Amino acid sequence: MSEELDEDISAALLDELYKVVLSRKGDDPAQSHTANLFAKGIHKISQKVGEEAVEVVIEAVSGPREGVISESADLLYHLMVLWAERGIKPAEVWTALEGRKGISGIAEKASRKVK
């Protein structure tokens, strides 16, 4: 698989996940983990992001490679919920990354795709 294709899939997948997360706002908390998080509010969502970040760190220093991957996926999902709760679009984060020294065309391309 080429690096180009990898980038396309990553951007599309994160965009899709964000859309699914947003679509859960106002849904029945009993039917959806995401809706349950929204119902609990920003403090609970932020707590979950913190917990998942710690779990990534724990796996990074003492767990298997697969653990780091799995906990990273949990962290990204919960971060998307946090962005959605605070009204932040992924494209705004890509733009912030794009503006940093040393980041070139890749972030710019991903940002254009998710707008």
Q: HSE of 69 in the Cβ direction (CA atoms, 13 Å)?
A: 3
- Asked whether 18 and 77 are in contact (CB, 8 A), the reply is no
Could you say whether residue 79 binds ligand PRT (CB under 6 A)? no
Least distance in angstroms from the C-beta of 81 to ligand PRT: 8
Q: Is 32 in the site for ligand PRT (CB under 6 A)?
A: yes
Q: Which stretch binds ligand PRT (CB under 6 A): 4-12, 32-40, 60-68, 87-95?
A: 32-40
Please report whether residue 15 would count as binding ligand PRT according to CB under 6 A.
no
**Minimum distance from CB of 89 to ligand PRT (Å)?**
17
CB of 2 to ligand PRT, least distance (A): 26
Q: How many CB atoms lie within 10 A of CB 73?
A: 13
**Pick from 18, 56, 75, 77: which binds ligand PRT (CB under 6 A)?**
77
The backbone region for 88, taken as left when phi is positive above 0, alpha when psi lies in -120 to 50, beta otherwise, is: beta
* Separation CA 90–CA 6 (nearest Å): 18
Site for ligand PRT (CB under 6 A): which residue of 11, 14, 18, 24? 24
